[in-house]
Chains A and B, each alone.
Chain A
Amino acid sequence: MTRHITETDVRAAGPFAKVDMPADIARMKASLLKDIRRSAYVYRVDCGGCNACEIEIFASITPVFDAERFGIKVVASPRHADILLFTGAVTRAMRMPAMRAYEAAPDPKIVVSYGACGVSGGIFHDLYCTWGGTDKIVPVDVYIPGCPPTPAATVYGFAVALGLLGQKLKAETHVQADGERVPLAHPSIPYDLRVHIEREARRMAGYRQGGDIAERFLVMLEQPGIVPLTDRLAKFVAAEQDPRTAEILARLGEVVTGAIA
Chain B
Amino acid sequence: MHAPLTKPDTTRIGSATIAELRRKLPHAVLDESWQTPTQATITVKLDDLPNVVSTLYHEHDGWLSVMAGNDERSINGNFALYYALSMEGAEKSFIVVRAEVPAATEEFPSVTPLVPAAVWHEREVRDMFGLRPVGLPDERRLVLPDDWPEHLHPLRKDAMDYRLRPEPTGDDETYRFVNDAESETTVVPLGPLHITSDEPGHFRLFVDGEDIIDADYRMFYVHRGMEKVAETRMGYNEVTFLADRVCGICGYAHSVAYTTSIENALGVQVPERAQAIRAILLETERMHSHLLNLGLACHFVGFDTGFMQFFRVREKAMTLAELLTGSRKTYALNLIGGVRRDILGEQKAETLRIVSELREEVTRLVEMLLATPNLEGRVKGVGLLDPQIAREYSPVGPCVRGSGHKRDTRVDHPFAGYGRTTFPVHTGEGCDVLSRTLVRVGEFFDSLSIIEQILADAPGGPVLTEDFTYRPHKFALGFTEAPRGEDVHWSMTGDNQKLFRWRCRASTYANWPVLRWMLRGNTVSDAPLIVASIDPCYSCTDRVTVVDVKKAVSKTVPYKEMERYCRERTNSPLK
Contact = CB atoms under 8 A, between A and B. Distances in A.
Chains A and B are bound partners: yes
Interface of A: 1-5, 9-11, 14, 16, 43-46, 48-56, 58-59, 62-64, 74-77, 88-89, 91-97, 101, 122-124, 126-131, 147-148, 150, 202-210, 241-245, 247-248
Contact of B146 (A48, A93, A123): A93
B197 A92 contact: no
Interface in B193-246: 193-200, 220-226, 228-229, 233, 241-242, 245-246
B168 interface: yes
B167 interface: yes
A207 B334 CA distance: 12
B225 A127 contact: yes
B249 A51 contact: yes
Contacts of B424: none
Most buried by B among A93, A95, A202, A205: A93
A46 B330 CA distance: 18
Given A91-B224, A123-B241, A203-B466, A5 B342 contact: no
A242 B347 CA distance: 11
Given A10-B161, A55-B329, A204 B221 contact: no
A33 B432 CA distance: 48
Contact of B249 (A52, A126, A244): A52
A202 to B, nearest CB: 7
B560 interface: yes
B165 interface: yes
B248 interface: yes
Nearest to A245: B344
B221 A94 contact: yes
Contacts of A126: 162-163, 233
A91 B222 contact: yes
A55 B249 CA distance: 8
B340 A206 contact: yes
B532 interface: no
B242 A245 contact: no
Give the size range of B's interface with the partner.
35 or more
Nearest to B310: A62
Nearest to A5: B161
User: Interface of chain B, helix or strand or loop or mixed?
Assistant: loop
Nearest to A65: B315
A48 B163 contact: no
Contact of A10 (B159, B163, B318, B542): B163
Given A64-B315, A101-B193, A206-B339, A9 B222 contact: no
A204 B345 contact: no
Interface stretch (B383-391, B456-464, B488-496): B456-464
Nearest to A115: B248
Interface of B: 144-148, 154, 158-168, 171-173, 192-200, 220-226, 228-229, 233, 241-242, 245-249, 251, 292, 308, 311-312, 314-315, 318, 326, 328-330, 338-346, 348, 458, 460-466, 537-538, 542-543, 558-560, 563
A93 B328 contact: no
A209 B341 contact: yes
B315 A56 contact: no
Most buried by A among B163, B171, B346: B163
B224 A129 contact: yes
A4 to B, nearest CB: 8
Contacts of A242: 344-346
A206 B463 contact: yes
Contacts of A209: 341-342, 344
A196 to B, nearest CB: 13
Given A93-B220, A148-B329, A247-B460, A54 B198 contact: yes
A83 to B, nearest CB: 14
Contacts of B226: 124, 127
Given A95-B168, A206-B342, A50 B246 contact: yes
Contact of A48 (B159, B160, B221, B246): B221
Contact of B224 (A74, A124, A147): A124
12 contacts: A5-B160, A48-B200, A48-B224, A49-B248, A51-B198, A76-B559, A77-B560, A123-B242, A124-B225, A128-B225, A131-B165, A206-B464
Contacts of A93: 145-147, 192, 200, 220-223
B307 to A, nearest CB: 8
B45 to A, nearest CB: 30
Contacts of A45: 193
Contacts of B220: 93
B312 A62 contact: yes
A97 B198 contact: no
Given A51-B247, A97-B221, A206-B342, 16 more contacts: A1-B158, A3-B159, A4-B161, A49-B199, A49-B222, A50-B222, A52-B245, A53-B248, A56-B329, A89-B224, A96-B173, A124-B225, A127-B162, A148-B330, A244-B344, A247-B460
Q: Which 5 A-B pairs have the closest CB atoms?
A: A52-B248, A242-B345, A51-B248, A76-B560, A62-B311
